Amino acid sequence: MALEHITVLDLTHMLSGPYGTMLLADLGARTIKVEPPGRGEGTRRLLENDPQHSRDGMGAYYVTLNRNKESVCVDLKQPAGREIFLDLVRRADVVFDNFSVGVTERLGIDHASLAKVNPRIVTCSVTGFGQTGPATQRPAFDQVVQAMGGGMSITGTPATGPMRSGIPIGDLGGGTFGAIGVLAALVERERTGRGQHVDIAMLDVQISLLNYMATMYFMSGQIPEGIGNGHFVHVPYNCYPTADGHIIIACIGDAFFERFVEFIDVPELRRPEYRQQPVRFADKARIDEIISAELRKQPTAHWLARLEAARIPCGPVNDFAQALADPQVVARGMVAEVPLPDGTSLRMPGNPVKLSGSAAATFGAPPRLGAQTDAVLGDWLGYAPDRLASLRGQGVIG
């Protein structure tokens, strides 16, 4: 696999960090979770006893985010634990964390300290606000950065008020960009022979995702309001009701609109002035009203068949059951069967990165707490059995 020559030491917890290391593990990186003895990282506790959302003693968060990983229990707060960690760093390529700013320095495992024992080490920290600036010490979770990043202000409508994204894009965006930063640093290391630190702020990511919409604001000075399922530019581009559900129609550009008015038999939409985007946008509410009234006459399947035949961009608004059973999703391997330690298996989202020259993704079970401590420290680092027993007796490893 593409990253099978890379070893990641995973110090992450909760969602943003574990998602970033999950992406690297899915691409083949050996990913070793370094967890506190006894309790492990915090995500292990989430939903672990929920009868609907846990399997084999592991909740949905943990079991999804930690597939393809190994678990080693080391107490980094003890000097002996820190020495074990430095031994791991000597053989590793990446250290990935999402601690609060300052934690790695207090533990003596920040990039400057780790680079003394392995100059090639790449470190990555995903935090709410980054390592610099006036807000570094503020705590942050997903919805905080969604709100501060501006995205919530355009989600929903003026009537509903701001709404967060249903998908935790603040956390997942931080983890995704963390993985991208790590890959960039690894490529740079091939040129320089030295690692570096990757500093990812979840708020930075949210600002980046504003993309062209932020540029439109800088150009016009106009602060956008909630646009619901509509678009800042294109019409028709919205979620429309049908007789039995909802459908998305996305006519980007005048050419698609001309094709659309040939498809839908509504004379009012054939007005010559509607061939121009600025006119359509000015009359957006009326156009959406006309389309909604027409689409309500038939069920979703009827309209999808006709729209697809006319090659007009469209799609149903799927619930989870429909989305995860979509033939295209299944054909792309996006529903993966992941084994569990007890020998059963569980379905979850697959790996979206398809590489033509690398082996396809395979999935290993999420590890029980400390399951690979002896294998990693003994077989990989060469610690003798009596040393492992002594460390375990001192509570340094678990």
Active site residues: 231
Q: Are 200 and 124 in contact (CB under 8 A)?
A: yes
Q: How far apart are CA 201 and CA 316, in angstroms?
A: 34
Q: CA–CA distance from 302 to each of 236, 299, 331 (Å)?
A: 19, 6, 24
Q: Are 30 and 70 in contact (CB under 8 A)?
A: yes
Length of the chain in terms of residues written:
398
